[in-house]
Each structure stands twice: as structure tokens, then as C-alpha cells.
């Protein structure tokens, strides 16, 4: 049995730190884990996706259509883009931030409206969070990724809060630890 988490967003939003944190949590909980990332050109403001898979024995590093139990998204259009990858009834935790992609900037297309209800109609459970506001409250908008992971941890029954706290300490540079702990707690609504 393998559980699948997709972390998606716009290149440069900090998804690599989020996947590092989740990977650390899962290893500390004793799972077999595979994490697949994207480096290179698509990191330049493009749509990026990281796959995190865990269980007793994980084979493929990829998550395919209909396989994701959770989608964590740093941007709302990017959550919508990967809807087909989510199992029916799967959970989406999304930062409500909108970042215009180039076809919108050039005026060729409009930024789609009502994406939360469209995702719900598609069969997903959706929790949209203003992670930028929470991160700002914690001290820096740069911690938005960790605030979002805090919210995700509320839904994620497969790991203990202690594992998250220990992993934050292991993955975040020491001088930013308190900021990120605060962002994580605000994300959890604590």
C-alpha cells in the first residue's frame, strides 16, 4: 500500500523545501519513501511538481493520474491543473494566492474564476488557505510554504506532530527556525 502526495506550484515558490520537510517526516516515521523533483528549466517560473510516495515498499518515483491521495499546492491554478491526478475524494490543501501565467500576462487568456468550486465539482475536497497572510503574521511571506505544510499536517494522519516538529528543526536553517515554527503553527490554526 502506497500513499501519494503531490506538491505543486510555480517554480521558485519553495516546493523543494516543502518536499524535503515531508520526506524527512516520513523517513523518521519509518516508511519506505521516494521523492521525485524537477530541476532545471521548469524551475524558471513554470509549473512545477514534486511527487512524494511512501509505504512499506515503494517502486515508481512518479505519481500518475488517479493516484494522488493529497495535493498540496502553492498556487490555486496549479492545484486545478493537476486535478486528474487526484483520487476521487482526495484532499487538496491550496494557498489561495493567484500568480498570472504568461498567457494571462500577455492577454491571450484570462485567469480562470471559481477554481475552488470547480475543483470540488471535479470530485476533490478543497481547503484554500491564505498562506501569505499567515506567513506575514509569522514574520515573513517567505515562510508561506511552511504555513501551508502546517495546514496540510492537520489532514495528514500518517505522521505525528512530533515528527513534524523534529523535521522542521532538521530541514530549516537555524536562524529561520522560530519563524518557520510560528508559520507552521499558524497554518495548523494554533
Partner 1 sequence: MKQLMLGNKAFARGLYEAGCMVASSYPGTPSTEVTEEAAKYDEIYCEWAPNEKVALEVAFGASLAGKRSFCGMKHVGLNVAADPLFTISYCGVNAGMVICVADDPGMHSSQNEQDSRHYAIAAKVPMLEPSDSSEVLAFVKRAYEISEEYDTPVFVKMCTRIAHSQSIVEEGERAVLKAKPYEKNIAKYVMMPAYAKQRHPFVEERTRKLTEYAEICDLNRVEMGDTSIGIITSSTSYQYAREVFGDKASVLKLGMINPLPVNKIIDFAKKVDKLVIIEELDPIIENHCKALGLTVTGKDVLPMVGEFSQSLVAEKLGIDNKESCKAIPDLPNRPPVMCAGCPHRGMFYTLAKNKCTVLGDIGCYTLGAVAPLNAMEMTACMGASISSLHGFNKALGEESEGSTVAVIGDSTFMHSGMTGLANIAYNQSNSTVIILDNSITGMTGHQQNPTTGYNIKGDPAGKIDLEALCHSMGFERVTVVDPYDLSACDKVIKEELAAKEPSVIISRRPCVLLKYVKVKPALRVDSDKCKGCKACMKLGCPALCFKDGKAYIDETLCVGCGVCQQLCAFDALKEGGN
Which residues bind to partner 1, rule: CB under 8 A?
A: 10-12, 23-24, 26-27, 32-47, 58-62, 64-67, 77-78, 80-81, 83-88, 90, 97, 99-112, 115, 118-119, 121-124, 132, 141
Instruction: Give CA angle at 156 (55, 49), nearest 5°.
Output: 75
CB of 108 to partner 1, least distance (A): 7
Distance CA 59, CA 53 (A): 9
Q: Which three cell numbers stand for residue 82?
A: 493537476
CB of 110 to partner 1, least distance (A): 8
CB of 4 to partner 1, least distance (A): 11
**DSSP helix/strand/coil, 93:** strand
**DSSP helix/strand/coil, 46:** coil
**Nearer Cβ to partner 1, position 109 or 190?**
109
**Nearer Cβ to partner 1, position 17 or 190?**
17
Which residues, in sequence order, are bridge partners of residue 122?
A: none
CB of 42 to partner 1, least distance (A): 5
Amino acid at each position: 500500500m502506497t500513499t501519494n502526495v503531490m506538491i505543486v506550484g510555480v517554480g521558485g515558490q519553495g516546493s523543494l523545501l516543502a518536499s524535503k520537510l515531508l520526506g524527512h517526516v516520513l523517513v523518521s516515521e519509518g516508511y519506505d519513501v521516494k521523492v521525485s523533483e524537477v530541476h532545471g528549466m521548469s524551475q524558471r517560473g513554470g509549473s512545477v511538481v514534486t511527487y512524494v510516495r511512501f509505504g512499506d515498499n515503494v517502486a515508481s518515483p512518479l505519481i500518475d493520474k488517479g493516484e494522488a491521495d493529497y495535493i498540496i499546492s502553492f498556487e490555486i491554478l496549479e492545484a486545478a491543473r493537476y486535478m486528474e491526478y487526484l483520487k476521487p475524494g482526495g484532499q487538496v490543501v491550496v494557498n489561495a494566492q493567484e500568480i498570472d501565467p504568461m498567457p494571462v500576462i500577455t492577454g491571450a487568456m484570462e485567469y480562470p474564476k471559481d477554481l475552488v468550486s470547480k475543483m470540488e465539482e471535479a470530485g476533490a475536497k478543497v481547503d484554500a488557505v491564505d498562506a501569505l497572510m499567515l506567513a506575514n503574521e509569522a514574520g515573513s511571506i517567505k515562510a508561506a510554504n511552511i504555513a501551508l505544510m502546517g495546514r496540510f499536517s492537520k489532514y495528514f494522519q500518517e505522521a505525528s506532530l512530533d515528527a513534524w516538529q523534529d523535521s522542521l528543526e532538521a530541514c530549516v536553517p537555524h536562524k529561520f527556525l522560530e519563524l518557520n515554527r510560528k508559520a507552521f503553527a499558524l497554518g495548523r490554526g494554533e
